[in-house]
Amino acid sequence: MSKKIVKKLLQYRPCPKLDARLKKPGFSSWGLDKQTVKLLCQDPNAFLFAGLFDYLIDARDAWEVPRKLKKRLGYLDIRKLERTPKSKLAKSIARNGDSPALHRFPNRMADRVKSAAKKLQHEYQGSAKNIWKRDKPDAKEVIKRLRAFNGIGQKISNMLVRLLVTYYGVHLKGWEKIDIAVDRHVARVFLRSGIIDPPSRKKMYRVSEVRRSIIEQARSLSPKYPGALDESAFLVGKIWCQAEYAYCEVDDDDEDGPCPLKDVCPRNIDYGIL
Protein backbone atom coordinates (compact mmCIF):
# COMPACT_ATOMS: atom_id res chain seq x y z
CA MET A 1 0.00 0.00 0.00
CA SER A 2 2.82 2.42 0.87
CA LYS A 3 4.40 1.94 -2.57
CA LYS A 4 1.09 2.77 -4.27
CA ILE A 5 0.74 5.95 -2.22
CA VAL A 6 4.30 7.02 -3.02
CA LYS A 7 3.65 6.36 -6.71
CA LYS A 8 0.58 8.61 -6.55
CA LEU A 9 2.54 11.33 -4.80
CA LEU A 10 5.23 11.27 -7.47
CA GLN A 11 2.60 11.34 -10.21
CA TYR A 12 0.95 14.35 -8.58
CA ARG A 13 4.17 16.35 -8.43
CA PRO A 14 6.77 14.69 -10.69
CA CYS A 15 10.38 15.43 -9.88
CA PRO A 16 11.83 18.04 -12.28
CA LYS A 17 14.61 16.90 -14.58
CA LEU A 18 17.68 17.61 -12.53
CA ASP A 19 20.00 17.70 -15.53
CA ALA A 20 18.10 20.64 -17.00
CA ARG A 21 19.63 24.10 -16.86
CA LEU A 22 16.91 26.48 -15.77
CA LYS A 23 16.77 29.99 -17.18
CA LYS A 24 15.03 31.24 -14.05
CA PRO A 25 13.65 29.72 -10.82
CA GLY A 26 10.28 28.01 -11.18
CA PHE A 27 8.10 29.98 -8.78
CA SER A 28 5.24 30.36 -11.26
CA SER A 29 2.88 28.05 -9.37
CA TRP A 30 3.48 29.58 -5.94
CA GLY A 31 1.14 32.56 -6.36
CA LEU A 32 3.82 35.04 -5.26
CA ASP A 33 3.91 38.74 -6.07
CA LYS A 34 5.84 39.43 -9.28
CA GLN A 35 8.27 41.69 -7.45
CA THR A 36 8.83 38.96 -4.87
CA VAL A 37 9.73 36.48 -7.60
CA LYS A 38 12.07 39.04 -9.16
CA LEU A 39 13.82 39.58 -5.82
CA LEU A 40 14.12 35.84 -5.14
CA CYS A 41 15.60 35.35 -8.59
CA GLN A 42 18.16 38.12 -8.23
CA ASP A 43 19.15 38.12 -4.57
CA PRO A 44 20.39 34.88 -2.95
CA ASN A 45 20.19 36.55 0.47
CA ALA A 46 16.45 37.09 -0.03
CA PHE A 47 16.18 33.37 -0.80
CA LEU A 48 17.91 32.52 2.49
CA PHE A 49 15.81 34.97 4.51
CA ALA A 50 12.62 33.52 3.02
CA GLY A 51 13.68 30.15 4.36
CA LEU A 52 14.35 31.69 7.77
CA PHE A 53 10.87 33.21 7.90
CA ASP A 54 9.24 29.92 6.87
CA TYR A 55 8.54 29.15 10.52
CA LEU A 56 5.05 28.72 12.01
CA ILE A 57 3.38 30.83 9.32
CA ASP A 58 1.98 30.00 5.89
CA ALA A 59 4.80 29.18 3.48
CA ARG A 60 3.56 31.62 0.83
CA ASP A 61 3.50 34.45 3.39
CA ALA A 62 7.04 33.56 4.49
CA TRP A 63 8.40 33.83 0.96
CA GLU A 64 6.84 37.28 0.58
CA VAL A 65 8.63 38.59 3.69
CA PRO A 66 12.01 39.57 2.17
CA ARG A 67 10.35 41.93 -0.33
CA LYS A 68 8.06 43.45 2.31
CA LEU A 69 10.87 43.79 4.83
CA LYS A 70 13.04 45.49 2.22
CA LYS A 71 10.22 47.92 1.51
CA ARG A 72 9.76 48.74 5.21
CA LEU A 73 13.46 49.10 6.00
CA GLY A 74 14.49 50.59 2.67
CA TYR A 75 17.23 48.00 2.26
CA LEU A 76 18.15 44.32 2.49
CA ASP A 77 21.88 44.97 2.44
CA ILE A 78 23.75 42.53 4.68
CA ARG A 79 26.13 45.13 6.15
CA LYS A 80 23.24 47.43 7.02
CA LEU A 81 21.21 44.58 8.50
CA GLU A 82 24.13 43.59 10.71
CA ARG A 83 24.30 47.15 12.06
CA THR A 84 20.53 47.60 12.39
CA PRO A 85 19.41 47.59 16.05
CA LYS A 86 17.32 44.57 16.92
CA SER A 87 14.54 46.84 18.19
CA LYS A 88 14.27 48.59 14.82
CA LEU A 89 14.30 45.29 12.97
CA ALA A 90 11.64 43.79 15.24
CA LYS A 91 9.51 46.92 14.82
CA SER A 92 9.75 46.57 11.03
CA ILE A 93 8.61 42.94 11.27
CA ALA A 94 5.78 43.67 13.73
CA ARG A 95 2.37 45.11 12.94
CA ASN A 96 2.55 48.79 12.10
CA GLY A 97 -0.77 50.65 12.06
CA ASP A 98 -2.88 49.15 9.30
CA SER A 99 0.06 47.13 7.99
CA PRO A 100 -0.04 43.54 9.27
CA ALA A 101 2.90 41.89 10.98
CA LEU A 102 5.29 40.04 8.69
CA HIS A 103 5.62 37.26 11.26
CA ARG A 104 3.99 36.06 14.48
CA PHE A 105 7.26 36.42 16.42
CA PRO A 106 8.94 39.74 15.52
CA ASN A 107 11.62 39.62 18.22
CA ARG A 108 12.61 36.04 17.49
CA MET A 109 12.80 36.66 13.77
CA ALA A 110 14.77 39.87 14.30
CA ASP A 111 17.34 37.79 16.21
CA ARG A 112 17.53 35.28 13.37
CA VAL A 113 17.92 37.92 10.68
CA LYS A 114 20.64 39.69 12.66
CA SER A 115 22.45 36.41 13.30
CA ALA A 116 22.19 35.40 9.62
CA ALA A 117 23.44 38.81 8.44
CA LYS A 118 26.47 38.56 10.74
CA LYS A 119 27.24 35.02 9.60
CA LEU A 120 26.89 35.92 5.92
CA GLN A 121 29.09 38.97 6.31
CA HIS A 122 31.89 37.27 8.21
CA GLU A 123 31.84 33.74 6.75
CA TYR A 124 30.40 34.07 3.23
CA GLN A 125 31.62 37.47 2.00
CA GLY A 126 28.13 38.94 2.39
CA SER A 127 26.38 36.60 -0.05
CA ALA A 128 24.35 33.46 0.60
CA LYS A 129 25.39 32.30 -2.86
CA ASN A 130 28.76 31.36 -1.39
CA ILE A 131 27.02 28.82 0.86
CA TRP A 132 26.45 26.61 -2.19
CA LYS A 133 29.18 27.92 -4.49
CA ARG A 134 32.31 28.28 -2.35
CA ASP A 135 34.72 25.34 -2.67
CA LYS A 136 32.20 23.46 -4.86
CA PRO A 137 30.40 21.71 -1.96
CA ASP A 138 28.17 18.68 -2.39
CA ALA A 139 24.53 18.68 -1.29
CA LYS A 140 25.35 17.18 2.10
CA GLU A 141 27.84 19.95 2.86
CA VAL A 142 25.39 22.68 1.81
CA ILE A 143 22.76 21.21 4.14
CA LYS A 144 25.36 21.23 6.92
CA ARG A 145 26.26 24.87 6.23
CA LEU A 146 22.61 25.92 6.24
CA ARG A 147 21.92 24.12 9.51
CA ALA A 148 24.65 26.22 11.12
CA PHE A 149 22.35 29.25 10.77
CA ASN A 150 20.19 30.09 13.78
CA GLY A 151 16.63 28.93 13.04
CA ILE A 152 17.40 26.48 10.22
CA GLY A 153 16.83 22.83 11.01
CA GLN A 154 16.14 19.59 9.13
CA LYS A 155 13.08 20.87 7.30
CA ILE A 156 14.39 24.19 6.00
CA SER A 157 17.91 23.00 5.17
CA ASN A 158 16.72 20.09 3.01
CA MET A 159 13.94 22.18 1.46
CA LEU A 160 16.29 25.01 0.49
CA VAL A 161 18.81 22.62 -1.07
CA ARG A 162 16.02 20.86 -2.97
CA LEU A 163 14.84 24.24 -4.29
CA LEU A 164 18.36 25.18 -5.29
CA VAL A 165 18.66 21.99 -7.33
CA THR A 166 15.16 21.80 -8.82
CA TYR A 167 14.12 25.48 -9.00
CA TYR A 168 17.43 27.28 -9.51
CA GLY A 169 19.28 24.64 -11.49
CA VAL A 170 22.25 24.65 -9.09
CA HIS A 171 24.31 21.56 -9.75
CA LEU A 172 25.28 19.85 -6.49
CA LYS A 173 27.02 16.52 -6.36
CA GLY A 174 25.07 14.06 -4.25
CA TRP A 175 21.72 15.82 -4.84
CA GLU A 176 20.05 12.38 -4.70
CA LYS A 177 20.81 12.28 -0.96
CA ILE A 178 18.54 15.24 -0.21
CA ASP A 179 15.98 14.07 2.34
CA ILE A 180 12.31 14.87 2.52
CA ALA A 181 11.77 18.10 4.49
CA VAL A 182 9.54 17.07 7.37
CA ASP A 183 6.96 19.54 8.67
CA ARG A 184 3.46 19.13 10.11
CA HIS A 185 1.81 18.84 6.67
CA VAL A 186 4.18 16.11 5.50
CA ALA A 187 3.95 14.31 8.85
CA ARG A 188 0.15 14.33 8.74
CA VAL A 189 0.08 12.79 5.26
CA PHE A 190 2.63 10.09 6.08
CA LEU A 191 0.77 9.17 9.28
CA ARG A 192 -2.81 9.23 7.99
CA SER A 193 -1.99 7.43 4.74
CA GLY A 194 -0.17 4.66 6.56
CA ILE A 195 3.21 5.30 4.93
CA ILE A 196 4.55 5.17 8.48
CA ASP A 197 3.10 3.33 11.45
CA PRO A 198 2.10 5.36 14.50
CA PRO A 199 4.85 5.08 17.12
CA SER A 200 2.34 4.46 19.92
CA ARG A 201 -1.37 4.08 20.60
CA LYS A 202 -2.11 7.77 20.93
CA LYS A 203 -3.74 9.78 18.15
CA MET A 204 -1.82 13.07 18.30
CA TYR A 205 1.93 13.43 17.74
CA ARG A 206 4.57 16.10 17.52
CA VAL A 207 6.62 16.32 14.34
CA SER A 208 9.71 15.41 16.35
CA GLU A 209 8.13 12.08 17.34
CA VAL A 210 7.69 10.89 13.74
CA ARG A 211 10.43 12.77 11.85
CA ARG A 212 12.97 9.95 11.88
CA SER A 213 10.42 7.35 10.71
CA ILE A 214 9.35 9.62 7.84
CA ILE A 215 12.92 10.25 6.70
CA GLU A 216 13.76 6.53 6.80
CA GLN A 217 10.59 5.54 4.93
CA ALA A 218 11.16 8.18 2.26
CA ARG A 219 14.69 6.84 1.79
CA SER A 220 13.35 3.30 1.53
CA LEU A 221 10.41 3.99 -0.80
CA SER A 222 12.13 6.58 -2.99
CA PRO A 223 15.78 5.48 -2.77
CA LYS A 224 16.94 7.27 -5.92
CA TYR A 225 15.86 10.62 -4.47
CA PRO A 226 13.94 10.84 -1.13
CA GLY A 227 13.49 14.60 -1.57
CA ALA A 228 11.24 13.95 -4.57
CA LEU A 229 8.40 13.24 -2.11
CA ASP A 230 8.76 16.59 -0.39
CA GLU A 231 6.65 19.01 -2.40
CA SER A 232 3.85 16.57 -3.22
CA ALA A 233 3.37 15.43 0.40
CA PHE A 234 3.50 19.05 1.59
CA LEU A 235 0.81 20.16 -0.87
CA VAL A 236 -1.49 17.21 -0.13
CA GLY A 237 -1.24 18.06 3.57
CA LYS A 238 -1.80 21.75 3.01
CA ILE A 239 -4.66 21.52 0.51
CA TRP A 240 -6.58 18.35 1.36
CA CYS A 241 -5.31 16.56 4.46
CA GLN A 242 -5.66 19.48 6.82
CA ALA A 243 -5.38 19.50 10.60
CA GLU A 244 -9.07 20.01 11.33
CA TYR A 245 -10.51 17.91 8.53
CA ALA A 246 -9.51 15.75 5.57
CA TYR A 247 -11.09 16.92 2.31
CA CYS A 248 -10.58 13.63 0.48
CA GLU A 249 -13.09 14.21 -2.31
CA VAL A 250 -12.59 17.97 -2.77
CA ASP A 251 -10.60 20.65 -1.00
CA ASP A 252 -12.34 23.23 1.18
CA ASP A 253 -12.49 25.78 -1.68
CA ASP A 254 -13.52 23.16 -4.27
CA GLU A 255 -10.85 24.39 -6.69
CA ASP A 256 -8.30 21.59 -6.82
CA GLY A 257 -10.59 18.58 -7.17
CA PRO A 258 -10.20 15.36 -5.17
CA CYS A 259 -7.08 14.43 -3.27
CA PRO A 260 -4.65 12.57 -5.55
CA LEU A 261 -4.36 9.86 -2.87
CA LYS A 262 -8.09 9.24 -2.42
CA ASP A 263 -8.11 5.86 -4.23
CA VAL A 264 -5.17 4.38 -2.29
CA CYS A 265 -5.20 6.12 1.10
CA PRO A 266 -6.79 4.26 4.06
CA ARG A 267 -7.87 7.66 5.43
CA ASN A 268 -6.75 7.28 9.03
CA ILE A 269 -8.02 10.77 9.70
CA ASP A 270 -8.16 10.27 13.46
CA TYR A 271 -4.39 10.84 13.56
CA GLY A 272 -3.10 14.37 13.88
CA ILE A 273 0.05 16.43 14.29
CA LEU A 274 0.39 19.02 17.03
Domains parsed from the chain with CATH numbers: 2-14+179-273 (1.10.1670.10), 34-134 (1.10.340.30)
pLDDT of residue 13: 86
Local confidence pLDDT in tens for the 274 residues of the chain: 789 999 999 999 887 666 555 555 667 677 888 999 999 989 999 999 999 999 999 999 999 999 999 999 999 999 999 999 999 999 999 998 888 999 999 999 999 999 999 999 999 999 999 999 999 999 999 999 999 999 999 999 999 999 999 888 888 999 999 999 999 999 999 999 999 999 999 999 999 999 999 999 999 999 999 999 999 999 999 999 999 889 988 755 567 788 999 999 998 889 999 8
pLDDT of residue 169: 85
CA-nearest of 161, 164, 163, 219 to 190 is: 219
In single-letter form, the type of residue at position 8 comes to: K
Q: How far apart are CA 104 and CA 119, in angstroms?
A: 24
pLDDT of residue 17: 64
CA-nearest of 166, 190, 185, 146 to 52 is: 146
Alpha helices in 124-255 (DSSP H): 129-133, 139-147, 154-166, 184-192, 207-221, 230-239
pLDDT of residue 42: 92
List, as one string, the DSSP characters of 213-237.
HHHHHHHHHSTT-GGGGHHHHHHHH
Q: How far apart are CA 9 and CA 190, in angstroms?
A: 11
pLDDT of residue 254: 63
Residues 6 or more apart from 54 whose CB is under 8 A from it?
62, 63, 156, 159
CA-nearest of 233, 220, 18 to 139 is: 18
Judged on CB neighbours under 10 Å (0-12, 13-18, 19+), 11 is exposed
